[in-house]
C-alpha cells in the first residue's frame, strides 16, 4: 500500500517535516511493506518556507524585528524573481520567548514582516508570496506598513510587484469572526484586551477605508492578526496557502498515486474548516477517491463534521498519550506510537 504522509506542523512542538518523520517511523513498525511517501504541508503558517524550499530556490536570511522588538533571524526563499516569505518567521508565537499574555497580545507587532518584504524587494523580487499564520500580533498589519515607511511609501515600494497573501484562514478583520475575537485569546488576550485590539483594528480599518481600501470584511483580512488586511489594501491577491504548497510539491500527482492519505495538525477543530491545510488535503483526496485519516494533537470535530470534510477517522495525540503535558513534552515519540496504532487498524486496499 502506498501511503502519502502529509501533516502540517503540530503547533510549536513539531515541524511538519518532524511530524512526517514520526508518522512514517511509527507506520513502518506495523506495516513495513507499505511505501510511505512524506509530503510535509503548510497552509501559510509556521513551516511555510521550509516546506516550499524542498522544491527548489535559495533560502535567504534577514535580521528583522521580532514581535516584541528584539531582533531575530528570519528565513525566506528566493526562487527566480519570486520571494516566499512567512509571517511567523518575524512575529510568530514561538518568538515571544514567554507564555503569551495580555501584555504580549497588546505589544506584539508586524514590523519585522515589513522588513522581510523590504529584504525581498532589495533582492530584486517582482513577485512576493507572503504566508500568513501563527502570528503573535493583532495589529492589522500596521507594523508592516510602518516598516515600509508609511502608507504612501509602501504603495510606491510595491508598485509593479505581484503581491500574494497566502492565508491559512478566511476570517475577516473585524467582528465575532475577526482577528481579535477569534485569535486574540490564543495569543494571550483576555476579554478586555480583545476589545482593545478590536477597537484598534476598527480604527485602522477606518483609515484604510479613507485611503480608498475597504478590506475589513474581505475573506482572509483577519489572517495573521490582520496582516491580511494590510496586504489586501496594498493590492495583494489572496491565495490559499495550502494550494501554494500543493502546486509546488506536486500534491495532486502524489494523491493520484496514493492508496491512503495520512494528514494531521496540532488541533483539528472548527477553525480547521475555514481554510486549514488538513481540510484542503482531505477535500483533494476525496476528489481523487483516496481515503483520509488524520492524527492531531487534539480532535474537536464531531464524527459528522469529519465525514463532511472527507476524513474517514481522526485520532487524538492527547488521548493516546493520556495527558496534554505528555503529548507536548514527548510529542515525537507519542506521535510515532499513535501512527503505529493507526497503522494496525488499516485493512489492505
The CATH number of residue 275's host domain is 3.40.50.10350
Domain count, the chain: 2
> Cβ distance 198 to 19 under 8 Å?
no
Would 253 be classed as within a structural domain?
Answer: no
Backbone angles phi, psi at 66, to 5 degrees: -80, -175
Q: Are strands 237-240 and 313-316 parallel, antiparallel or unpaired?
A: unpaired
Under the banding of pLDDT at 50, 70 and 90, the label for residue 225 is very high
How do residues 236-295 score in pLDDT, each as one tens digit?
999 999 889 989 888 889 999 999 999 999 988 887 877 678 888 999 999 999 999 999
Q: CA torsion angle for 141, 146, 149, 154 (degrees, to 10)?
A: 10
At residue 189, the 3 state secondary structure works out as coil
Of the three residues 242, 273, 293, the one that is the final residue of a domain is: 242
- Shared domain for 90 and 207, answered yes or no, is yes
- Whole-number Å distance between alpha carbons of 157 and 166: 20
- Shared domain for 149 and 69, answered yes or no, is yes
Sheet holding 237-240, edge to edge: 58-65, 71-79, 82-86, 127-132, 162-167, 237-240
Of the three residues 242, 272, 289, the one that is the final residue of a domain is: 242
Question: CA distances (Å), 312 to each of 35, 90, 295, in order?
Answer: 20, 36, 11
Exposure pattern of 235-269 as b/e (b: 16+ CB <10 Å)? ebebbbbbbbbbebbebeebbeebebbbbbbbbbb
For the chain, give percent helix, strand, coil, nearest 5: 45, 20, 35
Cell numbers found for residue 72:
531575530
Would 152 be classed as within a structural domain?
Answer: yes
User: Which pLDDT score is estimated for 170?
Assistant: 87
Would 154 be classed as within a structural domain?
Answer: yes
User: Which pLDDT score is estimated for 251?
Assistant: 86
User: Which pLDDT score is estimated for 346?
Assistant: 85
- Shared domain for 65 and 138, answered yes or no, is yes
Percentage of the chain modeled with pLDDT above 70: 99
Is 128's pLDDT higher than 80?
yes
- Shared domain for 285 and 164, answered yes or no, is no
Question: CA distances (Å), 330 to each of 63, 262, 266, 322, 341, in order?
Answer: 32, 21, 14, 12, 17
- Shared domain for 62 and 178, answered yes or no, is yes
Would 328 be classed as within a structural domain?
Answer: yes
Would 247 be classed as within a structural domain?
Answer: no
- Shared domain for 214 and 316, answered yes or no, is no
- Shared domain for 221 and 324, answered yes or no, is no
How do residues 294-333 score in pLDDT, each as one tens digit?
999 999 989 999 999 999 999 999 999 999 999 999 999 9
Enclosing domain of residue 278: 2-40+259-343
CA atoms within 13 A on the CB side of 285: 27
- Whole-number Å distance between alpha carbons of 209 and 58: 38
Q: Is 82 exposed, middle or buried (0-12, 13-18, 19+ CB in 10 A)?
A: middle
- Shared domain for 184 and 330, answered yes or no, is no
Is 33's pLDDT higher than 90?
yes
> Cβ distance 146 to 106 under 8 Å?
no
How do residues 138-184 score in pLDDT, each as one tens digit?
999 999 999 999 999 999 999 999 999 999 788 999 999 999 999 99
Q: What number of other Cβ atoms are within 10 A of residue 105's Cβ?
A: 26
- Whole-number Å distance between alpha carbons of 278 and 236: 25
- Shared domain for 134 and 206, answered yes or no, is yes
- Whole-number Å distance between alpha carbons of 241 and 41: 10
Would 250 be classed as within a structural domain?
Answer: no
- Looking up residue 91, the CATH number of its domain turns out to be 3.90.1510.10
Q: What number of other Cβ atoms are within 10 A of residue 194's Cβ?
A: 21
Cell numbers found for residue 237:
491577491
* DSSP structural state of residue 10: B
Q: Is 195 exposed, middle or buried (0-12, 13-18, 19+ CB in 10 A)?
A: middle
- Shared domain for 126 and 159, answered yes or no, is yes
At residue 142, the 3 state secondary structure works out as helix
Would 254 be classed as within a structural domain?
Answer: no
- Shared domain for 238 and 281, answered yes or no, is no
Cell numbers found for residue 152:
504612501
Helices (H), 32-84: 48-53
- Shared domain for 212 and 111, answered yes or no, is yes
Of the three residues 242, 268, 303, the one that is the final residue of a domain is: 242
Please tell me which of 92-96, 265-269, 343-347 the model is most confident about, judged by mean pLDDT. 92-96
- Whole-number Å distance between alpha carbons of 145 and 186: 24
- Whole-number Å distance between alpha carbons of 205 and 222: 11
> Cβ distance 301 to 194 under 8 Å?
no
Would 348 be classed as within a structural domain?
Answer: no
- Whole-number Å distance between alpha carbons of 314 and 67: 34
Amino acid at each position: 500500500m502506498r501511503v502519502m504522509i502529509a501533516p502540517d506542523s503540530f503547533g510549536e512542538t513539531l515541524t511538519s517535516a518532524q511530524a512526517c518523520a514520526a508518522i512514517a517511523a511509527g507506520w513502518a513498525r506495523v506495516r513495513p511493506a507499505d511505501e510511505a511517501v512524506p509530503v510535509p504541508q503548510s497552509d501559510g503558517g509556521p513551516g511555510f518556507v521550509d516546506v516550499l524550499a524542498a522544491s527548489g530556490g535559495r533560502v535567504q536570511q534577514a535580521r528583522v524585528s521580532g514581535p516584541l522588538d528584539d531582533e531575530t533571524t528570519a528565513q525566506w526563499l528566493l526562487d527566480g524573481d519570486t520571494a516566499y516569505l512567512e509571517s511567523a518567521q518575524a512575529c510568530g508565537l514561538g518568538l515571544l520567548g514567554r507564555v503569551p499574555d495580555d501584555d504580549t497580545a497588546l505589544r506584539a507587532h508586524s514590523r519585522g514582516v515589513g522588513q522581510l518584504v523590504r529584504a525581498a524587494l532589495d533582492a530584486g523580487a517582482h513577485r512576493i508570496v507572503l504566508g500568513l499564520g501563527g502570528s503573535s500580533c493583532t495589529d492589522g498589519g500596521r507594523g508592516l506598513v510602518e516598516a515600509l515607511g508609511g502608507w504612501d511609501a509602501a504603495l510606491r515600494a510595491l508598485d509593479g510587484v505581484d503581491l500574494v497573501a497566502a492565508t491559512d484562514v478566511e476570517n475577516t478583520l473585524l467582528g465575532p469572526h475577526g482577528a481579535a475575537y477569534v485569535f486574540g485569546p490564543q495569543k494571550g488576550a483576555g476579554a478586555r484586551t480583545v476589545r482593545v485590539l478590536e477597537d484598534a483594528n476598527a480604527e485602522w480599518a477606518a483609515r484604510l477605508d479613507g485611503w480608498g481600501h475597504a478590506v475589513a470584511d474581505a475573506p482572509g483580512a483577519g489572517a495573521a492578526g490582520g496582516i491580511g488586511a494590510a496586504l489586501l489594501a496594498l493590492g495583494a491577491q489572496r491565495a490559499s496557502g495550502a494550494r501554494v504548497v500543493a502546486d509546488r510539491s506536486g500534491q495532486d500527482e502524489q494523491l493520484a498515486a496514493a492508496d491512503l492519505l495520512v494528514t494531521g495538525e496540532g488541533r483539528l477543530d472548527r477553525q480547521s474548516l475555514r481554510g486549514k491545510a488538513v481540510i484542503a488535503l482531505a477535500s483533494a483526496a476525496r476528489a481523487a477517491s483516496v481515503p483520509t485519516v488524520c492524527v492531531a494533537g487534539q480532535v474537536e470535530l464531531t464524527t459528522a463534521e469529519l465525514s463532511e470534510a472527507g476524513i474517514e477517522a481522526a485520532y487524538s495525540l492527547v488521548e493516546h498519550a493520556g495527558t496534554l503535558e505528555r503529548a507536548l513534552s514527548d510529542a515525537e515519540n507519542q506521535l510515532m506510537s499513535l501512527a503505529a496504532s493507526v497503522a494496525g487498524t488499516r485493512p489492505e486496499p
